[in-house]
Amino acid sequence: MPRKKRWLFLGLVIFVVGVSLFSFSIFQNKRRESHRLAILSHYHDVVQVIEDTELYEQKGDDFFKVGKLYQKAILELEKISGEYFQIKGTDYYVKYDKVEEGEKIVDLENHYLLFNQDAVVLENSPLSVLGQKQIELPKKIRLSVLEKGDIYKLTNGEIILEVEKNSIETFVESENCHEETLEKLSIFYFETSDNIEDKLQLLKEDNYTFISEKELISFFNGNIVLPKHTTMLIFKEIDEKVTTLQELYHLTINEENQLTLTYQKGDEQVSRLDHLVKYVVDGNTSKLRFQDMLKGKKEDVVKNYATSIPVLNYHFFYDPNIEVCDESICLEKTKFEEQLNYLKENGYKTLTMQEFYDWYQGKINLPKKSVLLTVDDGAAGTFSYLPDLLEKYDLRATLFLISGWWPMSRYKVGHLEIQSHGHDLHHNNFSYQGKTGVKGLLLPKEELLQDLRLSKSTIGNPIAFCYPFYAYNERLVSAVKEEFKLAFVGGNKKATRNGDIYHIPRYVIYNTTSLGQFQNMIK
Protein backbone atom coordinates (compact mmCIF):
# COMPACT_ATOMS: atom_id res chain seq x y z
CA MET A 1 0.00 0.00 0.00
CA PRO A 2 1.34 3.36 -0.98
CA ARG A 3 2.60 5.41 1.92
CA LYS A 4 -0.01 8.08 1.47
CA LYS A 5 -2.84 5.55 1.65
CA ARG A 6 -1.37 3.96 4.81
CA TRP A 7 -1.51 7.30 6.60
CA LEU A 8 -5.04 7.86 5.49
CA PHE A 9 -6.08 4.42 6.79
CA LEU A 10 -4.26 4.92 10.08
CA GLY A 11 -5.93 8.33 10.52
CA LEU A 12 -9.31 6.76 9.88
CA VAL A 13 -8.68 4.02 12.47
CA ILE A 14 -7.59 6.57 15.02
CA PHE A 15 -10.69 8.64 14.31
CA VAL A 16 -13.00 5.63 14.66
CA VAL A 17 -11.33 4.53 17.88
CA GLY A 18 -11.50 8.06 19.26
CA VAL A 19 -15.15 8.39 18.41
CA SER A 20 -15.83 5.00 19.96
CA LEU A 21 -13.97 5.84 23.15
CA PHE A 22 -15.70 9.16 23.35
CA SER A 23 -19.07 7.53 22.81
CA PHE A 24 -18.30 4.86 25.41
CA SER A 25 -17.24 7.56 27.87
CA ILE A 26 -20.47 9.44 27.30
CA PHE A 27 -22.38 6.17 27.70
CA GLN A 28 -20.59 5.38 30.93
CA ASN A 29 -21.17 8.86 32.28
CA LYS A 30 -24.83 8.61 31.38
CA ARG A 31 -25.01 5.22 33.00
CA ARG A 32 -23.35 6.50 36.19
CA GLU A 33 -25.63 9.53 36.20
CA SER A 34 -28.63 7.31 35.64
CA HIS A 35 -27.52 5.10 38.53
CA ARG A 36 -26.94 8.14 40.73
CA LEU A 37 -30.39 9.45 39.91
CA ALA A 38 -31.86 6.02 40.58
CA ILE A 39 -30.28 6.04 44.04
CA LEU A 40 -31.50 9.57 44.68
CA SER A 41 -35.00 8.62 43.55
CA HIS A 42 -35.17 6.04 46.35
CA TYR A 43 -33.93 8.44 49.04
CA HIS A 44 -36.57 10.14 51.17
CA ASP A 45 -36.72 11.34 54.74
CA VAL A 46 -39.01 8.39 55.46
CA VAL A 47 -38.91 5.14 53.49
CA GLN A 48 -40.66 1.79 53.54
CA VAL A 49 -38.87 -1.53 53.01
CA ILE A 50 -40.12 -3.20 49.81
CA GLU A 51 -39.34 -6.77 50.86
CA ASP A 52 -37.51 -8.58 53.62
CA THR A 53 -33.90 -7.52 53.26
CA GLU A 54 -30.52 -7.26 54.98
CA LEU A 55 -29.38 -4.71 57.52
CA TYR A 56 -25.81 -3.53 56.94
CA GLU A 57 -22.97 -2.09 58.97
CA GLN A 58 -20.09 -0.13 57.40
CA LYS A 59 -16.45 -0.95 58.04
CA GLY A 60 -14.07 1.20 56.02
CA ASP A 61 -15.37 1.30 52.48
CA ASP A 62 -17.16 -2.02 52.73
CA PHE A 63 -20.65 -2.96 53.97
CA PHE A 64 -21.36 -6.19 55.84
CA LYS A 65 -24.69 -7.93 56.55
CA VAL A 66 -25.46 -7.82 60.27
CA GLY A 67 -29.24 -7.99 60.70
CA LYS A 68 -32.65 -8.04 59.07
CA LEU A 69 -35.27 -5.55 57.96
CA TYR A 70 -38.83 -6.72 57.40
CA GLN A 71 -41.12 -5.90 54.50
CA LYS A 72 -43.16 -2.73 55.17
CA ALA A 73 -40.77 -1.61 57.91
CA ILE A 74 -40.73 2.18 58.15
CA LEU A 75 -37.33 3.88 58.43
CA GLU A 76 -36.16 7.44 58.81
CA LEU A 77 -32.96 8.14 56.85
CA GLU A 78 -29.98 10.29 57.69
CA LYS A 79 -27.57 10.26 54.68
CA ILE A 80 -26.41 8.48 51.53
CA SER A 81 -23.22 6.46 51.42
CA GLY A 82 -22.76 5.04 47.93
CA GLU A 83 -25.58 2.61 47.30
CA TYR A 84 -26.54 2.50 50.98
CA PHE A 85 -28.75 4.71 53.14
CA GLN A 86 -27.91 5.28 56.78
CA ILE A 87 -30.85 4.77 59.16
CA LYS A 88 -31.34 7.84 61.30
CA GLY A 89 -29.89 7.70 64.79
CA THR A 90 -28.03 4.40 64.19
CA ASP A 91 -24.86 2.99 62.63
CA TYR A 92 -26.91 0.72 60.37
CA TYR A 93 -27.64 0.92 56.63
CA VAL A 94 -30.13 -0.37 54.08
CA LYS A 95 -29.46 -0.85 50.34
CA TYR A 96 -31.09 1.83 48.21
CA ASP A 97 -33.08 -0.46 45.92
CA LYS A 98 -34.79 -2.18 48.83
CA VAL A 99 -36.78 0.87 49.89
CA GLU A 100 -39.35 3.30 48.52
CA GLU A 101 -40.97 6.44 49.84
CA GLY A 102 -43.04 5.83 52.96
CA GLU A 103 -45.04 7.65 55.59
CA LYS A 104 -43.75 8.21 59.09
CA ILE A 105 -45.44 6.09 61.72
CA VAL A 106 -47.55 8.29 63.92
CA ASP A 107 -47.60 6.42 67.18
CA LEU A 108 -50.88 6.46 69.06
CA GLU A 109 -50.79 8.99 71.88
CA ASN A 110 -49.64 7.06 74.92
CA HIS A 111 -50.93 7.88 78.36
CA TYR A 112 -49.15 5.18 80.34
CA LEU A 113 -46.24 5.98 82.61
CA LEU A 114 -42.91 4.18 82.31
CA PHE A 115 -42.09 1.44 84.79
CA ASN A 116 -39.07 2.04 86.98
CA GLN A 117 -37.14 -0.59 85.02
CA ASP A 118 -35.64 -1.10 81.58
CA ALA A 119 -35.61 -4.28 79.50
CA VAL A 120 -32.54 -5.70 77.76
CA VAL A 121 -33.68 -7.26 74.47
CA LEU A 122 -31.70 -10.19 73.04
CA GLU A 123 -29.78 -9.72 69.81
CA ASN A 124 -31.59 -10.66 66.59
CA SER A 125 -35.01 -10.35 68.25
CA PRO A 126 -37.77 -9.06 65.95
CA LEU A 127 -38.94 -5.59 67.00
CA SER A 128 -42.39 -4.44 65.84
CA VAL A 129 -44.32 -1.17 65.71
CA LEU A 130 -48.13 -1.27 65.92
CA GLY A 131 -48.03 -5.03 65.28
CA GLN A 132 -45.88 -4.72 62.14
CA LYS A 133 -42.43 -6.34 62.31
CA GLN A 134 -39.71 -3.78 61.67
CA ILE A 135 -36.18 -4.90 62.39
CA GLU A 136 -33.78 -7.42 63.92
CA LEU A 137 -30.62 -5.95 65.44
CA PRO A 138 -27.33 -7.81 65.79
CA LYS A 139 -26.73 -6.39 69.26
CA LYS A 140 -28.59 -6.34 72.55
CA ILE A 141 -30.62 -3.19 73.07
CA ARG A 142 -31.84 -1.57 76.29
CA LEU A 143 -35.26 0.10 76.24
CA SER A 144 -37.67 1.51 78.82
CA VAL A 145 -40.64 -0.66 79.80
CA LEU A 146 -44.05 0.82 79.00
CA GLU A 147 -46.35 -2.21 79.11
CA LYS A 148 -45.88 -5.80 80.25
CA GLY A 149 -47.54 -8.98 78.98
CA ASP A 150 -46.88 -11.69 76.43
CA ILE A 151 -45.92 -8.80 74.16
CA TYR A 152 -43.88 -6.09 75.89
CA LYS A 153 -44.16 -2.49 74.77
CA LEU A 154 -40.85 -0.68 75.08
CA THR A 155 -39.70 2.77 74.08
CA ASN A 156 -36.52 4.60 73.21
CA GLY A 157 -38.22 7.90 73.98
CA GLU A 158 -39.32 8.48 70.39
CA ILE A 159 -41.34 5.46 69.31
CA ILE A 160 -43.08 2.49 70.96
CA LEU A 161 -41.54 -0.86 70.01
CA GLU A 162 -43.08 -4.29 70.65
CA VAL A 163 -41.19 -7.47 71.44
CA GLU A 164 -42.17 -10.93 72.65
CA LYS A 165 -41.63 -11.63 76.33
CA ASN A 166 -39.22 -14.51 75.63
CA SER A 167 -36.98 -12.11 73.68
CA ILE A 168 -36.16 -10.14 76.83
CA GLU A 169 -32.98 -11.27 78.51
CA THR A 170 -33.21 -9.35 81.76
CA PHE A 171 -34.57 -6.26 83.50
CA VAL A 172 -32.47 -3.51 85.03
CA GLU A 173 -33.39 -0.64 87.30
CA SER A 174 -34.35 2.55 85.49
CA GLU A 175 -33.98 6.18 86.47
CA ASN A 176 -37.67 6.79 85.80
CA CYS A 177 -39.36 8.13 88.92
CA HIS A 178 -43.05 8.96 89.36
CA GLU A 179 -44.21 10.91 92.39
CA GLU A 180 -47.93 10.49 91.74
CA THR A 181 -49.21 7.26 90.20
CA LEU A 182 -52.70 5.82 90.25
CA GLU A 183 -53.70 3.51 93.06
CA LYS A 184 -57.50 3.73 92.84
CA LEU A 185 -59.73 5.33 90.28
CA SER A 186 -63.31 6.50 89.86
CA ILE A 187 -65.45 4.73 87.26
CA PHE A 188 -68.39 6.79 85.99
CA TYR A 189 -71.57 5.37 84.50
CA PHE A 190 -73.56 7.99 82.57
CA GLU A 191 -77.23 7.11 82.34
CA THR A 192 -77.84 10.06 80.03
CA SER A 193 -75.93 12.62 77.99
CA ASP A 194 -77.87 15.47 79.64
CA ASN A 195 -75.85 18.05 81.59
CA ILE A 196 -72.47 16.35 81.15
CA GLU A 197 -70.52 19.11 79.38
CA ASP A 198 -69.47 20.86 82.61
CA LYS A 199 -68.21 17.56 84.02
CA LEU A 200 -66.21 16.72 80.90
CA GLN A 201 -64.80 20.24 80.88
CA LEU A 202 -63.68 19.72 84.48
CA LEU A 203 -61.88 16.51 83.49
CA LYS A 204 -60.22 18.27 80.57
CA GLU A 205 -59.06 21.20 82.74
CA ASP A 206 -57.51 18.77 85.24
CA ASN A 207 -55.77 16.80 82.43
CA TYR A 208 -57.48 13.50 83.13
CA THR A 209 -56.53 10.36 81.22
CA PHE A 210 -59.39 8.18 79.95
CA ILE A 211 -58.96 4.41 79.71
CA SER A 212 -60.74 1.47 78.12
CA GLU A 213 -61.87 -1.64 79.96
CA LYS A 214 -58.90 -3.50 78.44
CA GLU A 215 -56.55 -0.93 79.97
CA LEU A 216 -58.36 -1.20 83.30
CA ILE A 217 -57.66 -4.92 83.32
CA SER A 218 -54.01 -4.35 82.37
CA PHE A 219 -53.63 -1.81 85.15
CA PHE A 220 -54.96 -4.08 87.89
CA ASN A 221 -52.90 -6.98 86.53
CA GLY A 222 -49.79 -4.80 86.97
CA ASN A 223 -49.04 -4.57 83.27
CA ILE A 224 -49.21 -0.77 82.97
CA VAL A 225 -48.63 2.24 85.21
CA LEU A 226 -51.18 5.06 84.99
CA PRO A 227 -51.01 8.70 86.08
CA LYS A 228 -52.94 9.72 89.19
CA HIS A 229 -55.53 11.68 87.22
CA THR A 230 -57.07 8.73 85.38
CA THR A 231 -60.72 7.75 85.07
CA MET A 232 -62.98 5.41 83.13
CA LEU A 233 -66.23 6.49 81.45
CA ILE A 234 -69.12 4.11 80.73
CA PHE A 235 -72.17 5.25 78.77
CA LYS A 236 -75.54 3.52 78.76
CA GLU A 237 -75.68 4.34 75.06
CA ILE A 238 -73.58 6.39 72.68
CA ASP A 239 -75.84 8.87 70.93
CA GLU A 240 -74.94 11.67 68.52
CA LYS A 241 -74.27 14.10 71.37
CA VAL A 242 -71.87 11.69 73.09
CA THR A 243 -70.04 11.10 69.80
CA THR A 244 -69.60 14.85 69.35
CA LEU A 245 -68.28 15.25 72.90
CA GLN A 246 -65.99 12.27 72.39
CA GLU A 247 -64.30 14.05 69.52
CA LEU A 248 -64.25 17.40 71.31
CA TYR A 249 -62.64 16.11 74.52
CA HIS A 250 -60.67 13.18 73.01
CA LEU A 251 -62.48 10.69 75.22
CA THR A 252 -62.04 6.96 75.50
CA ILE A 253 -65.63 5.78 75.93
CA ASN A 254 -66.86 2.37 77.00
CA GLU A 255 -70.38 1.44 75.93
CA GLU A 256 -72.32 -0.63 78.44
CA ASN A 257 -73.33 -3.42 76.06
CA GLN A 258 -69.72 -4.00 74.99
CA LEU A 259 -68.25 -4.55 78.46
CA THR A 260 -66.93 -7.95 79.52
CA LEU A 261 -66.71 -7.30 83.27
CA THR A 262 -69.53 -6.73 85.77
CA TYR A 263 -69.80 -3.35 87.51
CA GLN A 264 -71.94 -2.69 90.60
CA LYS A 265 -73.50 0.65 91.51
CA GLY A 266 -71.73 2.10 94.54
CA ASP A 267 -70.19 5.06 96.30
CA GLU A 268 -66.46 4.41 96.26
CA GLN A 269 -63.42 4.21 94.05
CA VAL A 270 -62.04 1.02 92.56
CA SER A 271 -58.79 -0.60 93.72
CA ARG A 272 -59.06 -4.16 92.41
CA LEU A 273 -60.70 -6.16 89.63
CA ASP A 274 -62.88 -8.30 91.87
CA HIS A 275 -64.63 -5.23 93.30
CA LEU A 276 -65.70 -3.04 90.39
CA VAL A 277 -67.88 -0.19 91.62
CA LYS A 278 -69.28 2.55 89.39
CA TYR A 279 -70.57 5.99 90.27
CA VAL A 280 -73.93 6.57 88.57
CA VAL A 281 -74.17 10.04 87.00
CA ASP A 282 -77.54 11.36 85.84
CA GLY A 283 -78.86 14.75 84.74
CA ASN A 284 -79.24 15.87 88.38
CA THR A 285 -75.68 15.11 89.48
CA SER A 286 -74.10 18.42 90.39
CA LYS A 287 -70.62 19.45 89.33
CA LEU A 288 -69.52 19.55 92.97
CA ARG A 289 -70.83 16.05 93.63
CA PHE A 290 -68.97 14.91 90.51
CA GLN A 291 -65.78 16.48 91.90
CA ASP A 292 -66.32 14.59 95.16
CA MET A 293 -66.74 11.34 93.24
CA LEU A 294 -63.42 11.99 91.50
CA LYS A 295 -61.79 12.31 94.90
CA GLY A 296 -63.60 9.29 96.36
CA LYS A 297 -65.65 11.27 98.87
CA LYS A 298 -68.70 9.35 100.05
CA GLU A 299 -72.22 10.69 99.78
CA ASP A 300 -72.83 10.59 103.55
CA VAL A 301 -69.99 13.10 103.92
CA VAL A 302 -71.41 15.21 101.12
CA LYS A 303 -74.81 15.24 102.82
CA ASN A 304 -73.25 17.48 105.45
CA TYR A 305 -72.37 20.10 102.83
CA ALA A 306 -74.49 23.21 102.46
CA THR A 307 -76.69 23.36 99.37
CA SER A 308 -78.17 26.67 100.52
CA ILE A 309 -76.92 29.30 102.96
CA PRO A 310 -78.92 31.82 105.00
CA VAL A 311 -77.71 35.42 104.70
CA LEU A 312 -78.88 37.58 107.62
CA ASN A 313 -79.30 41.34 107.36
CA TYR A 314 -78.89 43.57 110.41
CA HIS A 315 -78.88 47.36 110.64
CA PHE A 316 -78.62 48.99 114.08
CA PHE A 317 -77.81 47.79 117.61
CA TYR A 318 -78.64 49.60 120.84
CA ASP A 319 -78.85 49.26 124.62
CA PRO A 320 -82.42 50.21 125.70
CA ASN A 321 -81.16 51.05 129.19
CA ILE A 322 -79.22 54.05 127.90
CA GLU A 323 -80.43 54.63 124.32
CA VAL A 324 -83.57 55.00 122.26
CA CYS A 325 -84.00 53.53 118.77
CA ASP A 326 -87.58 53.38 117.56
CA GLU A 327 -87.01 52.00 114.05
CA SER A 328 -88.18 48.46 113.28
CA ILE A 329 -84.67 47.50 112.13
CA CYS A 330 -83.11 48.43 115.50
CA LEU A 331 -82.10 45.36 117.49
CA GLU A 332 -81.49 45.30 121.20
CA LYS A 333 -77.92 44.45 122.10
CA THR A 334 -79.03 41.58 124.37
CA LYS A 335 -81.14 40.03 121.58
CA PHE A 336 -78.22 40.21 119.17
CA GLU A 337 -75.93 38.61 121.73
CA GLU A 338 -78.51 35.86 122.27
CA GLN A 339 -78.42 35.09 118.56
CA LEU A 340 -74.61 35.08 118.46
CA ASN A 341 -74.53 32.76 121.45
CA TYR A 342 -76.94 30.38 119.69
CA LEU A 343 -74.68 30.29 116.62
CA LYS A 344 -71.61 29.62 118.74
CA GLU A 345 -73.19 26.96 120.95
CA ASN A 346 -74.64 25.08 117.99
CA GLY A 347 -71.46 24.97 115.91
CA TYR A 348 -72.34 27.38 113.11
CA LYS A 349 -69.64 28.68 110.79
CA THR A 350 -69.96 32.39 110.10
CA LEU A 351 -68.48 33.15 106.70
CA THR A 352 -66.19 35.73 105.21
CA MET A 353 -67.40 37.27 101.97
CA GLN A 354 -64.68 35.46 100.01
CA GLU A 355 -65.75 32.10 101.45
CA PHE A 356 -69.36 32.80 100.53
CA TYR A 357 -68.38 33.87 97.02
CA ASP A 358 -66.20 30.78 96.47
CA TRP A 359 -69.06 28.55 97.67
CA TYR A 360 -71.53 30.34 95.40
CA GLN A 361 -69.19 29.79 92.43
CA GLY A 362 -68.88 26.09 93.26
CA LYS A 363 -65.18 26.35 94.07
CA ILE A 364 -65.49 25.06 97.65
CA ASN A 365 -67.92 23.15 99.82
CA LEU A 366 -69.08 24.49 103.18
CA PRO A 367 -70.67 22.75 106.16
CA LYS A 368 -74.44 22.71 106.39
CA LYS A 369 -74.28 24.91 109.44
CA SER A 370 -72.96 27.95 107.60
CA VAL A 371 -74.36 31.47 107.75
CA LEU A 372 -73.35 34.87 106.38
CA LEU A 373 -73.99 37.78 108.76
CA THR A 374 -74.33 41.18 107.05
CA VAL A 375 -74.92 44.63 108.51
CA ASP A 376 -76.02 47.61 106.40
CA ASP A 377 -75.06 51.28 106.61
CA GLY A 378 -72.58 51.63 109.49
CA ALA A 379 -74.67 53.68 111.92
CA ALA A 380 -75.88 53.08 115.51
CA GLY A 381 -74.06 50.33 117.33
CA THR A 382 -72.05 49.03 114.40
CA PHE A 383 -68.91 50.69 115.74
CA SER A 384 -69.69 50.59 119.49
CA TYR A 385 -71.23 47.12 120.01
CA LEU A 386 -70.86 44.98 116.89
CA PRO A 387 -67.06 44.47 116.70
CA ASP A 388 -66.65 43.60 120.39
CA LEU A 389 -69.53 41.11 120.39
CA LEU A 390 -68.15 39.38 117.30
CA GLU A 391 -64.78 39.13 118.96
CA LYS A 392 -66.32 37.84 122.21
CA TYR A 393 -68.00 34.92 120.41
CA ASP A 394 -65.24 34.54 117.79
CA LEU A 395 -67.72 34.97 114.92
CA ARG A 396 -67.49 36.93 111.68
CA ALA A 397 -69.71 39.46 109.94
CA THR A 398 -69.66 41.84 106.96
CA LEU A 399 -70.49 45.54 107.19
CA PHE A 400 -71.87 47.11 104.00
CA LEU A 401 -70.60 50.62 104.69
CA ILE A 402 -71.84 53.88 103.22
CA SER A 403 -68.25 54.94 102.67
CA GLY A 404 -68.99 58.64 102.16
CA TRP A 405 -70.80 59.01 105.49
CA TRP A 406 -68.52 57.41 108.05
CA PRO A 407 -64.75 56.83 107.98
CA MET A 408 -63.42 53.27 108.00
CA SER A 409 -61.20 54.15 110.97
CA ARG A 410 -64.35 54.21 113.06
CA TYR A 411 -64.72 50.44 112.87
CA LYS A 412 -62.66 47.75 114.51
CA VAL A 413 -61.87 45.25 111.76
CA GLY A 414 -60.73 41.68 112.21
CA HIS A 415 -63.91 39.78 112.94
CA LEU A 416 -65.73 42.49 110.98
CA GLU A 417 -64.91 43.00 107.31
CA ILE A 418 -66.13 45.92 105.21
CA GLN A 419 -67.81 45.79 101.80
CA SER A 420 -69.64 48.46 99.79
CA HIS A 421 -73.05 50.07 100.30
CA GLY A 422 -72.15 52.84 97.85
CA HIS A 423 -70.35 56.10 98.63
CA ASP A 424 -73.30 58.46 98.66
CA LEU A 425 -76.22 56.59 97.12
CA HIS A 426 -78.18 56.07 100.34
CA HIS A 427 -80.95 58.65 99.71
CA ASN A 428 -84.59 57.69 99.21
CA ASN A 429 -85.93 61.24 98.71
CA PHE A 430 -83.47 62.38 96.07
CA SER A 431 -84.44 64.81 93.33
CA TYR A 432 -82.94 64.49 89.87
CA GLN A 433 -84.17 66.06 86.64
CA GLY A 434 -87.67 66.59 87.95
CA LYS A 435 -87.97 63.12 89.53
CA THR A 436 -87.81 62.21 93.22
CA GLY A 437 -86.97 58.80 94.69
CA VAL A 438 -84.10 56.43 95.47
CA LYS A 439 -80.89 58.02 94.25
CA GLY A 440 -79.46 54.81 92.85
CA LEU A 441 -82.45 54.45 90.53
CA LEU A 442 -82.30 58.00 89.16
CA LEU A 443 -78.65 58.68 88.32
CA PRO A 444 -77.26 57.92 84.85
CA LYS A 445 -74.88 54.98 84.65
CA GLU A 446 -71.72 57.09 84.44
CA GLU A 447 -72.53 58.86 87.70
CA LEU A 448 -73.39 55.54 89.32
CA LEU A 449 -70.00 54.16 88.25
CA GLN A 450 -68.25 57.22 89.68
CA ASP A 451 -69.92 56.61 93.06
CA LEU A 452 -69.18 52.88 93.06
CA ARG A 453 -65.53 53.44 92.14
CA LEU A 454 -65.13 56.08 94.85
CA SER A 455 -66.60 53.64 97.36
CA LYS A 456 -64.21 50.90 96.21
CA SER A 457 -61.13 53.11 96.45
CA THR A 458 -62.19 54.34 99.89
CA ILE A 459 -62.81 50.86 101.31
CA GLY A 460 -59.92 49.13 99.53
CA ASN A 461 -61.23 47.09 96.60
CA PRO A 462 -64.23 45.22 98.09
CA ILE A 463 -65.82 42.42 96.05
CA ALA A 464 -69.46 42.74 97.19
CA PHE A 465 -72.16 45.41 96.98
CA CYS A 466 -75.49 45.85 98.75
CA TYR A 467 -78.27 47.85 97.06
CA PRO A 468 -79.47 50.78 99.21
CA PHE A 469 -83.10 50.22 100.30
CA TYR A 470 -82.98 46.86 98.42
CA ALA A 471 -83.84 48.90 95.31
CA TYR A 472 -82.34 48.29 91.88
CA ASN A 473 -83.06 48.69 88.19
CA GLU A 474 -81.33 47.47 85.05
CA ARG A 475 -79.01 50.50 84.91
CA LEU A 476 -77.81 50.15 88.51
CA VAL A 477 -77.32 46.38 88.18
CA SER A 478 -75.30 46.93 85.00
CA ALA A 479 -73.01 49.40 86.81
CA VAL A 480 -72.62 47.06 89.78
CA LYS A 481 -71.64 44.17 87.49
CA GLU A 482 -68.74 46.22 86.14
CA GLU A 483 -67.28 46.85 89.60
CA PHE A 484 -68.29 43.96 91.91
CA LYS A 485 -68.41 40.17 91.86
CA LEU A 486 -71.70 39.81 93.76
CA ALA A 487 -74.53 41.92 95.16
CA PHE A 488 -77.23 41.56 97.84
CA VAL A 489 -80.90 42.49 98.15
CA GLY A 490 -83.69 41.52 100.58
CA GLY A 491 -85.98 38.58 99.92
CA ASN A 492 -86.30 36.56 103.15
CA LYS A 493 -85.06 33.25 101.72
CA LYS A 494 -81.81 31.31 101.60
CA ALA A 495 -79.16 31.82 98.95
CA THR A 496 -78.59 28.94 96.52
CA ARG A 497 -76.00 28.42 93.83
CA ASN A 498 -78.56 28.47 91.04
CA GLY A 499 -79.73 31.99 91.88
CA ASP A 500 -78.63 35.30 90.38
CA ILE A 501 -75.31 36.29 91.95
CA TYR A 502 -76.26 39.98 91.66
CA HIS A 503 -79.59 39.48 93.49
CA ILE A 504 -78.60 37.38 96.50
CA PRO A 505 -81.49 37.26 99.00
CA ARG A 506 -81.20 38.00 102.73
CA TYR A 507 -83.35 37.57 105.82
CA VAL A 508 -83.96 40.98 107.40
CA ILE A 509 -83.67 40.94 111.21
CA TYR A 510 -86.22 43.20 112.98
CA ASN A 511 -86.62 44.17 116.62
CA THR A 512 -89.60 41.81 116.70
CA THR A 513 -87.62 38.80 115.40
CA SER A 514 -87.79 36.13 118.09
CA LEU A 515 -85.11 33.55 118.80
CA GLY A 516 -87.44 30.87 117.39
CA GLN A 517 -87.85 32.81 114.15
CA PHE A 518 -84.10 33.29 114.02
CA GLN A 519 -83.59 29.54 114.42
CA ASN A 520 -86.01 28.82 111.56
CA MET A 521 -84.10 31.20 109.29
CA ILE A 522 -80.79 29.40 109.75
CA LYS A 523 -81.81 25.75 110.07
Residue 37: the pLDDT is 85
CB atoms within 10 A of CB 62: 8
Pairing of strands 84-87, 74-81: antiparallel
Evaluate the CA torsion angle 202, 204, 207, 210 in order and state its sign. positive
For residue 56, the model assigns a pLDDT of: 95
Predicted local confidence at residue 38, as pLDDT: 82
Name the residue among 263, 453, 486 with its Cα closest to residue 374. Answer: 486
The predicted pLDDT at position 511 comes to: 94
- Looking at residue 394, its pLDDT comes to 96
CA distance 188 to 206: 16
CA distances from 262 to 254, 276, 436 (A): 13, 7, 72
Burial of 254 by CB count in 10 Å (0-12 exposed, 13-18 middle, 19+ buried)?
buried
CA distances from residue 173 to 121, 144, 165, 177 in whole angstroms, order as listed: 14, 10, 18, 11
* DSSP assigned state of 497: T
Cα-based distances in Å from 450 to 101, 161, 190, 441, 453: 70, 67, 50, 14, 5
| Average pLDDT by stretches of 10, the chain with 523 residues | 58 57 59 82 93 93 92 92 90 94 76 92 92 90 93 88 93 85 94 89 92 95 94 93 91 94 92 93 85 84 83 97 92 97 96 96 90 96 94 97 95 94 96 94 97 97 96 97 97 92 97 96 94
Report how far residue 55's alpha carbon sits from residue 480's, in angstroms, rounded to the nearest whole number. Answer: 75
Cβ atoms of 138 and 144 within 8 Å: the answer is no
CA 309 to chain centre: 29
Residue 515, pLDDT score: 96
| Element holding 76 (H helix, E strand) | strand 74-81
State pTM to two decimals: 0.55
**In the 8-state DSSP scheme, what is residue 112?**
P
CA dihedral (349, 355, 360, 365) positive or negative = negative
Cβ-based neighbour number of residue 65 at 10 Å: 11
